[in-house]
């Protein structure tokens, strides 16, 4: 696994294990939208906070392909599937991961 792929794996697992620290969009508003179940990024002006693990964790977690989010209930299967993901798609930067779109 590349260093960035390891970081992506670690930050997603941190976000999932500490989901109680984050609020989802459906907690912010009650409208039924397609991004209803995504984590809501807090508003911030500090660059240090924007580049930190809290905000990056939300961005990276929200960008996960949909089939991973269905595995969240079983943490063991989720972690195993998430570990296989970077082996098939080696990411050499966070932007490369955020630009990744899964082909159907």
Q: Identify the weakest region by mean pLDDT among 37-41, 66-70, 77-81, 100-104.
A: 100-104
Q: What is the DSSP track for 56-102? A: HHHHHHHTS-HHHHTTTTSHHHHHHHHHHHHHHS--SSHHHHHH---
- What's the Cα-to-Cα distance from 19 to each of 9, 31, 54, 77, 96, rounded to whole Å? 15, 21, 11, 18, 25
pTM for the structure as a whole: 0.79
Give the pLDDT confidence of 35-65 residue by residue, as tens digits.
Answer: 777 887 887 777 777 777 888 888 998 888 8
Give the pLDDT confidence of 72-95 residue by residue, as tens digits.
Answer: 888 888 888 888 887 778 888 888
Domains of the chain, by residue range, sit at: 3-99
**pLDDT of the residue at 76:** 87
């Amino acid at each position: 696994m590349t260093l960035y792929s390891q970081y992506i794996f670690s930050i997603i697992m941190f976000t999932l294990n500490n989901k109680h620290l984050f609020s989802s969009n459906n907690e912010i508003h009650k409208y039924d939208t397609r991004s209803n179940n995504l984590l809501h990024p807090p508003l911030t002006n500090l660059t240090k906070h924007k580049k930190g693990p809290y905000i990056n964790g939300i961005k990276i977690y929200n960008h996960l392909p949909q089939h991973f989010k269905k595995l969240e209930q079983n943490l063991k299967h989720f972690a195993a599937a998430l570990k296989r993901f970077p082996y098939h798609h080696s990411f050499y930067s966070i932007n490369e991961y955020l630009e990744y779109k899964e082909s159907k």
